[in-house]
């Protein structure tokens, strides 16, 4: 594949950045990949495993001469890191990010971007429950969507170039505005994560059922929730603090529906329950047909083999 950027600077070296590095290298998309992480331990690990060509001790050094800078830090850290790198960004460079919310990131980062630098926010909808520089792998973005959120008046060539990079890493591209992105993600990601965290918390708290029982009997459904409830706590704290409005709206709808089902249970309204449970099957089918999940039983978990 053709090289798309000469020097890519990854700011933050967690799951997404490390996967980007593997994916860019595999496809030869970047001349050079450099990086920076706030924690010296993370920088040390990244150096040990050769994650980047160079790992710098400051973000400012890392972005020097980079024609693409990707902010891969928790949403709450975007403001400070943008303030630090703003003055040293190369003219003509593109600054992007991988944050899970977009309106707050635009508000935090845009003011620090100098004239002549393109700011093109993006969000790859991919991840696992693992975190840190060792958790990345080149296939993470394959057949997953990357949502690009170009600001009004964004340079088309710069947007297309960023899209080409993500396509080169295996992603499918969609464009939308920041507000719609935040609503879509509140439904498909943020509220599900909050609910999963809550359910796991409830199970952990219930004194009449021991943790050991919860663990042993988790295959009855509960374990599906624990995967996303094991995701990076800092990242998720920042998501909820920065997508407050949309998350609270979806949560409101969620509790409304849950109360309706709760009432149906209390009143013994089997028809209501049956109709509801039937309707939700078609969404699963759609997801499988769209290649966004596997049809193998139990997600094809290692221990479950179909004859």
Minimum CB distance to its own copies, residue 277 (Å) = 4
Binding segment (CB under 8 A) for its own copies, from list 28-36, 55-63, 154-162, 184-192: 184-192
Q: According to the binding rule CB under 8 A, does residue 92 interact with its own copies? A: no
Structure tokens belonging to residue 181: 């992105």
Is the CB of 7 or the CB of 190 nearer to its own copies?
A: 190
Binding segment (CB under 8 A) for its own copies, from list 36-44, 59-67, 161-169, 292-300: 292-300
Helices (H), the chain: 15-27, 40-48, 59-63, 78-85, 103-109, 156-168, 178-185, 191-205, 211-216, 223-228, 233-242, 244-267, 270-279, 281-289
Is the CB of 38 or the CB of 226 nearer to its own copies?
A: 226
Q: How far apart are CA 90 and CA 128, in angstroms?
A: 33
Q: How many residues bind its own copies (CB under 8 A)?
A: 123
Is the CB of 92 or the CB of 227 nearer to its own copies?
A: 227
Rule CB under 8 A: which of 238-277 touch its own copies? 238, 240-241, 244, 247-248, 250-251, 253-255, 257-259, 261-262, 264-266, 268, 270, 273-274, 276-277
C-alpha closest to that of 243 among 108, 132, 114, 112: 108
Q: According to the binding rule CB under 8 A, does residue 49 interact with its own copies? A: no
- With CB under 8 A as the contact rule, the residue among 144, 148, 163, 166 that binds its own copies is 144
Binding segment (CB under 8 A) for its own copies, from list 1-9, 59-67, 91-99, 119-127: 119-127
Q: How far apart are CA 55 and CA 224, in angstroms?
A: 36
User: Backbone dihedral region of 66: left (phi > 0), alpha (psi from -120 to 50 degrees) or beta?
Assistant: beta
Minimum CB distance to its own copies, residue 219 (Å) = 5
Q: How far apart are CA 93 and CA 63, in angstroms?
A: 10
Minimum CB distance to its own copies, residue 178 (Å) = 15
Is the CB of 153 or the CB of 268 nearer to its own copies?
A: 268
Question: Residue 68 in 3-state DSSP?
Answer: strand
Minimum CB distance to its own copies, residue 279 (Å) = 7
Q: How far apart are CA 234 and CA 250, in angstroms?
A: 22
Q: How far apart are CA 151 and CA 254, in angstroms?
A: 31
Is the CB of 110 or the CB of 287 nearer to its own copies?
A: 287
Q: How far apart are CA 157 and CA 174, in angstroms?
A: 16
Minimum CB distance to its own copies, residue 195 (Å) = 6
Backbone φ and ψ of 38, nearest 5° = -65, -40
Q: According to the binding rule CB under 8 A, does residue 221 interact with its own copies? A: yes
Q: According to the binding rule CB under 8 A, does residue 298 interact with its own copies? A: yes
Minimum CB distance to its own copies, residue 248 (Å) = 6
């Amino acid at each position: 594949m053709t090289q798309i950027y000469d020097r890519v600077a990854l700011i933050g070296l967690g799951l997404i950045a490390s996967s980007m590095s593997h994916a860019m290298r595999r496809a030869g998309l970047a001349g050079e990949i450099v990086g920076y992480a706030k924690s010296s331990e993370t920088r040390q690990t990244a150096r040990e495993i050769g994650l980047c060509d160079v790992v710098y001790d400051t973000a400012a050094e890392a972005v020097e001469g980079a024609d693409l800078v990707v902010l891969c830090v928790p949403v709450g850290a975007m403001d400070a890191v943008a303030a630090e790198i703003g003055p040293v960004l190369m003219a003509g460079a593109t600054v992007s990010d991988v944050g899970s919310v977009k309106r707050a990131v635009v508000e935090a980062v845009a003011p620090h971007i100098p004239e002549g630098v393109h700011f093109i926010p993006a969000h790859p909808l991919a991840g696992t429950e693992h975190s840190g520089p060792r958790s990345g792998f080149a296939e993470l973005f394959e057949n997953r969507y990357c949502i690009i959120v170009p600001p009004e008046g964004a340079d088309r060539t710069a947007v297309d170039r960023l899209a080409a990079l993500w396509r080169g890493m295996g992603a499918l591209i969609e464009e939308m505005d920041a507000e719609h992105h935040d609503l879509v993600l509140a439904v498909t990601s943020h509220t599900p994560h909050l609910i999963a965290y809550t359910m796991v918390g409830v199970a952990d708290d219930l004194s009449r059922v021991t943790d050991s029982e919860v663990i042993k009997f988790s295959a009855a459904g509960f374990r599906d929730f624990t995967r996303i409830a094991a995701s990076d706590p800092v990242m998720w704290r920042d998501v909820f603090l920065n997508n407050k409005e949309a998350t609270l709206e979806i949560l409101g709808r969620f509790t409304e529906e849950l109360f309706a089902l709760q009432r149906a249970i209390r009143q013994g309204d089997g028809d209501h329950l049956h109709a509801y449970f039937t309707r939700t099957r078609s969404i699963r089918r759609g997801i499988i047909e769209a290649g966004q999940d596997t049809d193998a039983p139990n997600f094809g978990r290692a221990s479950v083999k179909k004859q």
